[in-house]
Amino acid sequence: MGKTKDIRASVEDELVFDPLVDSSDIRVENVGGDVALHGSVRSYPQHLEAAAATRRVAGVSSVHNHLEVALPPGDIRDDPMLTTAANNALGLNLTVPDTVEAEARNGNVTLTGTVRYGYQRAAAEATVATLTGVRNVGDHIEICWDAYANPADVTVAVQDALDRNALIPDGSDVVVDTDGNSVTLTGHVRTWAEHDAVLDAAWMTPAVYHVYDELVITR
């Protein structure tokens, strides 16, 4: 019981400590390291940062972000204005190909189109996430690779990327299994930073359309 209360208190302290989050309307629940965030924040970047701050806390094994974005009246944008702003921002980001488009409805921005790499899709999400008026980002971008990739080659490429990464220790038990263009990651990682490094390595590999995360955060 004591450890459960310690994790919740530590998450609450981290949310207060983080200058990018106003935690005044956030309620934290914890069951054995499975943490849920409830309440509201005043921007979508705060919504994302609250989850990131929670993942930094030792003992947190999973995060369920149920926070609502309650925009101040001055930050609300109508659909045409937010759609235009999102597409202009995407057009200015050299990492995002011009095959990606955005459409806004009631503050919810939906991304569609195609990219060749997972990191390009992540860049598109990050680009529109910081725009004033955004309540949520829905990512429906598809990854398309115009050449056949041997699953064995994809597995080797992902494993080599993991071996090069300074955040992933020697002797890691992370296993990469490739089926077609889908990669499944299993095994154990020590921290969320290590977890994200493993996923990033998989998404940066050519011809990877899907990454299934079955990694376990050790506590």
CATH code assigned at 19: 3.30.1340.30
The answer to whether residue 4 scores a pLDDT higher than 60 is no
The answer to whether residue 162 scores a pLDDT higher than 70 is yes
d(CA 59, CA 24): 23
13 and 61 housed in the same domain: yes
161 and 184 housed in the same domain: yes
User: Three-class SS of residue 195?
Assistant: helix
64 and 83 housed in the same domain: no
Q: How high is the pLDDT of residue 119?
A: 85
Lowest mean pLDDT among 44-53, 85-94, 160-169: 160-169
d(CA 217, CA 219): 6
Report the share of the chain in percent with pLDDT over 70. 95
Is residue 21 within 8 A of residue 50, CB to CB? The reply is: yes
The pairing of beta strand 182-189 with beta strand 175-179: antiparallel
Report the share of the chain in percent with pLDDT over 90. 61
d(CA 169, CA 62): 21
Of the three residues 69, 97, 125, the one that is the final residue of a domain is 69
Residue 196's contacts (CB-CB under 8 Å, 6 or more residues apart) are: none
133 and 165 housed in the same domain: no
Amino acid letter, residue 24: S
Mean pLDDT of 179-186: 87
Q: What is the mean pLDDT of the chain?
A: 91
Is residue 86 within 8 A of residue 123, CB to CB? The reply is: no
Rounded to 10°, the helix 192-203/118-129 angle is 120
Query: How many domains does the chain fold into?
Result: 3
Looking from the CA of 18 toward its CB, the CA atoms found within 13 Å total: 24
Q: How high is the pLDDT of residue 1?
A: 45
The torsion angles phi and psi of 94, rounded to 5 degrees, stand at -65, -20
d(CA 13, CA 149): 47
Q: Which CATH number covers residue 128?
A: 3.30.70
Model pTM greater than 0.95?
no
The answer to whether residue 2 scores a pLDDT higher than 60 is no
Band of residue 139 on the pLDDT scale cut at 50, 70, 90: very high
Q: For residue range 11-63, list pLDDT tens digits in order.
A: 999 999 999 999 999 999 999 889 999 999 999 999 999 999 999 998 898 89
The answer to whether residue 91 scores a pLDDT higher than 90 is yes
Across 16-135, where does the E strand assignment appear? 26-31, 34-41, 62-65, 68-69, 100-105, 108-115
> For residue 142, what are its two tokens?
């598809």
17 and 53 housed in the same domain: yes
The answer to whether residue 201 scores a pLDDT higher than 90 is no
79 and 53 housed in the same domain: no
Residue-number span of the structural domain to which 65 is assigned: 2-69
